[in-house]
Amino acid sequence: MTKIKLSELSGAVCAALYLAAGNVHAADPKSDLINTDPFFYTADQIIPPEQEKMMGASGRPKTTHSLIPHLPFYVGYMQTNYTYRFVNVVEQVFTMIGEGKHGLWRMQEAGTIREYLKSGQPALPEGADLSDPANLAIIKSSYSSYDRPEDWAFYRYPDQRVSDGKLNYIDLPITHAKYGGKYVRHAPIELPSFYCTMSENDYPHAVEAMTFAFDQPGANKVGPLGKRAGLDIKENYTKVLRLDHFPDARSWINVGKKGHDSSYLDWQPIDTRKTKAEYYLVERPFFNHPYLFVLAVYDNEDNNDLRYVRPYGEYYQSLRERGLHKLKTIVTQRPRFNIATTQGPKLERVIGTPLYGVHHPDRASYGGGGACPLKGGDWGRYPDTSGGSAWPTQYEEITPLCDGVLVDIKFYANLDGNNWNDAGKYLANAGKGTKDVSYHVQPGNYGTFTDPYLVKRGVKNPDARYVPDYLTMHYPTVRAPVSYVSSPASPVMRSSSGMTPAGTSCKPIMSTASQN
């Protein structure tokens, strides 16, 4: 099988090339649908001379009449398995709408960060004490969790840990000295997350929209459940956007059919009043390329089924040293969720499937596996049965429960970090920056009835009045107008040299040639 490289193109971003079913499929090389002017909607407008004084500017308008700044518009799309999701940014509201009932896999962080050896840098010898201060300098300079100037081959497979007696990668607890103490008081990482891939590598058709979204004030804020799942560990999750479901969207669990085996499927809606949920769109490196993943984190109010910390290793020891002794250290293999019923919440155990996903009836026909990995940890050489279901920073004993949980891809996020139900948001005085705003109008008597029906009957307009040339309105509060953070130009994808994903999937499948 021929190894396909990603061509480096001039311009914003090149598209990925895929090797699937023995055929090369080249995506359209455009990036986002609107990739030159996010203010295209004013491109044909010039402020008339008579309005320049009011606008305080000439030329193309940059604000409304009330001096509220215009906000950029972005649109993009992403796909796996020829299933598409569409992202938009309008009025600082991010939306992502794709398919309903998308299958997720369970995973759980182990409180560690895997760092790979950089090209041309000295390596630690096998057996080196990673906690020895004498090794800190080389750990800082030679190893990295993500190094974008490097390419696919920066990642090493589990069986490539050592070469010529030197360490190609190391696993560090989040409390390691390299991270400068920023995680030493971190909440215990005790919750799993349920995830799946949303995009191709480098998400070429959504990079401008997503770069902008991740740069806004409302992004990179992780909620309490997300922190307990480790989503704020920046070395693992490089960018994070918390999402909310649209009102009619849900999470679902497979409860199966009573008295039958696991081949009988029945997904029921999770009641998030009792099983709390947080949703995220995250960027995380996979094989040293950025991908977008949707994540859901759950925890029950009425039981601790989802919680777990492996009672072993440096991370666990650091928790014990902080006096955190009451952590759950036994895995609940099939955790319960509260499902919504007409009688109220009801606890049911989730049932995973042995499939890669119920939307994948014949992955084996093109070498894509098709079975659930049935263990956590490093994806490695899947579909070889030794492969795990996620990343090397995660517990193998937290099995993926493939498609046991589904989620509707129908989300939104307020990128400025404030909800629209805030009474002080979007008031018309924001552009002026004062509570009192003076309005200049054409004076005169307004509202006198002239309709013969009304005049004959002597009907007077109770709202008629004389309006003077200046009126002052008094607002209850003054806020800064909704604005935005400008994003840098989109990065250009580097050409591929190494492990090129063959096909798109919930996780990419590596071509046979690139595994050798």
pLDDT tens-digit series, residues 113-134: 999 999 999 999 999 999 999 9
Measured over the CA atoms of residue 198, residue 202, residue 206 and residue 208, the dihedral's sign is positive
Determine the pLDDT at residue 33: 58
Task: Kindly provide the b/e burial profile for residues 152-190, where b requires at least 16 CB atoms within 10 angstroms of the residue's own CB.
Answer: bebbbbeeeeeeeeebbbbbbbbbbebbeeebeebbbbb
Determine the pLDDT at residue 506: 52
Give the DSSP per-residue string, 211-255.
HHHHTSTTSS---HHHHHTTTT-TTT-SEEEEEEE-TT--EEEE-
Determine the pLDDT at residue 374: 97
Query: What is the arrangement of strands in the sheet containing 143-144, beginning at the earlier edge strand?
Result: 143-144, 112-117, 169-173
**Looking at the structure, do residues 456 and 330 belong to the same domain, yes or no?**
no
Residue of 34 and 156 predicted with greater confidence: 156
For residue 453 the two structure tokens come to: 């029906």
Model confidence band, residue 487 (pLDDT cutoffs 50, 70, 90): confident
- Stated length of the chain: 516
**Looking at the structure, do residues 380 and 458 belong to the same domain, yes or no?**
no
Residue of 254 and 504 predicted with greater confidence: 254
From the CB of residue 118, how many other CB atoms can be counted at a distance below 10 Å? Answer: 16
Determine the pLDDT at residue 420: 93
* Contact between 207 and 283 (Cβ < 8 Å): no
Task: Kindly provide the b/e burial profile for residues 60-96, where b requires at least 16 CB atoms within 10 angstroms of the residue's own CB.
Answer: ebeeeeebbebbbbbbbbbbbbeeebbbbbeebebbb
**Looking at the structure, do residues 450 and 381 belong to the same domain, yes or no?**
no
Q: Is residue 181 part of a domain?
A: yes
Distance CA 14, CA 460 (A): 69
**Looking at the structure, do residues 452 and 404 belong to the same domain, yes or no?**
no
Burial (Cβ within 10 Å: 0-12, 13-18, ≥19) of residue 365: exposed
Q: Is residue 133 part of a domain?
A: no
**Looking at the structure, do residues 317 and 466 belong to the same domain, yes or no?**
no
Range in 37-46, 240-249, 332-341 the model is least confident about = 37-46
| pLDDT at residue 6 is higher than 50 | no
* Contact between 362 and 337 (Cβ < 8 Å): no
* Amino acid identity, position 55: M
Determine the pLDDT at residue 325: 84
**Average pLDDT of the segment spanning 504-515:** 45
| pLDDT at residue 58 is higher than 50 | yes
Determine the pLDDT at residue 17: 26
For residue 35 the two structure tokens come to: 């990739």
Of 294, 301, 244, which is closest to residue 271 (Cα–Cα)?
301
**Looking at the structure, do residues 356 and 454 belong to the same domain, yes or no?**
no
* Contact between 508 and 515 (Cβ < 8 Å): no
Of 269, 194, 189, which is closest to residue 224 (Cα–Cα)?
189
Burial (Cβ within 10 Å: 0-12, 13-18, ≥19) of residue 344: exposed
**Average pLDDT of the segment spanning 444-457:** 98
**Looking at the structure, do residues 242 and 359 belong to the same domain, yes or no?**
yes
Determine the pLDDT at residue 37: 87
**Looking at the structure, do residues 356 and 401 belong to the same domain, yes or no?**
yes
| pLDDT at residue 434 is higher than 70 | yes
Range in 34-38, 199-203, 502-506 the model is least confident about = 502-506
194-245 pLDDT, tens digit per residue, is 999 999 999 999 999 999 999 999 999 999 999 999 999 999 999 999 999 9
Q: Is residue 53 part of a domain?
A: no
The mean of the pLDDT values for the chain is: 89
- For residue 316, what is the DSSP state? H
Determine the pLDDT at residue 32: 52
**Looking at the structure, do residues 254 and 401 belong to the same domain, yes or no?**
yes
**What domain range is 453 assigned to?**
436-474
Determine the pLDDT at residue 3: 34
Parallel, antiparallel, or unpaired for β 410-414 and 112-117? unpaired
Determine the pLDDT at residue 490: 53
**Looking at the structure, do residues 395 and 321 belong to the same domain, yes or no?**
yes
Q: Is residue 284 part of a domain?
A: yes
**Partner residues linked to 437 by β-bridges:** 473
Determine the pLDDT at residue 35: 55
Angle at 453 between CA 450 and CA 457, to 5 degrees: 95
| pLDDT at residue 46 is higher than 50 | yes
**Average pLDDT of the segment spanning 437-450:** 97
Q: Is residue 160 part of a domain?
A: no
**Looking at the structure, do residues 333 and 462 belong to the same domain, yes or no?**
no
Q: Is residue 352 part of a domain?
A: yes
From 410, 426, 453, give the residue that closes a domain.
410
Determine the pLDDT at residue 10: 28
**Average pLDDT of the segment spanning 42-67:** 95
For residue 115 the two structure tokens come to: 């760092």
Model confidence band, residue 18 (pLDDT cutoffs 50, 70, 90): very low
SS3 content of the chain, % helix, strand, coil (to 5): 10, 25, 60
| pLDDT at residue 508 is higher than 60 | no
User: Could you identify the residue written with the tokens 């799942």?
Assistant: 229
| pLDDT at residue 496 is higher than 80 | no
Determine the pLDDT at residue 262: 87
**Average pLDDT of the segment spanning 164-185:** 98
Q: Is residue 140 part of a domain?
A: no
Residue of 496 and 382 predicted with greater confidence: 382
Q: Is residue 507 part of a domain?
A: no
Distance CA 210, CA 231 (A): 18
Q: Which residues contact 147 (CB under 8 A, 6 or more apart)?
A: 116, 118, 154, 288
**Looking at the structure, do residues 348 and 463 belong to the same domain, yes or no?**
no
Model confidence band, residue 166 (pLDDT cutoffs 50, 70, 90): very high
Question: Dihedrals φ, ψ of 305, to 5°?
Answer: -55, -40
Considering the entire predicted model, what is its pTM? 0.89
- What is the number of structural domains in the chain? 2
Determine the pLDDT at residue 343: 93
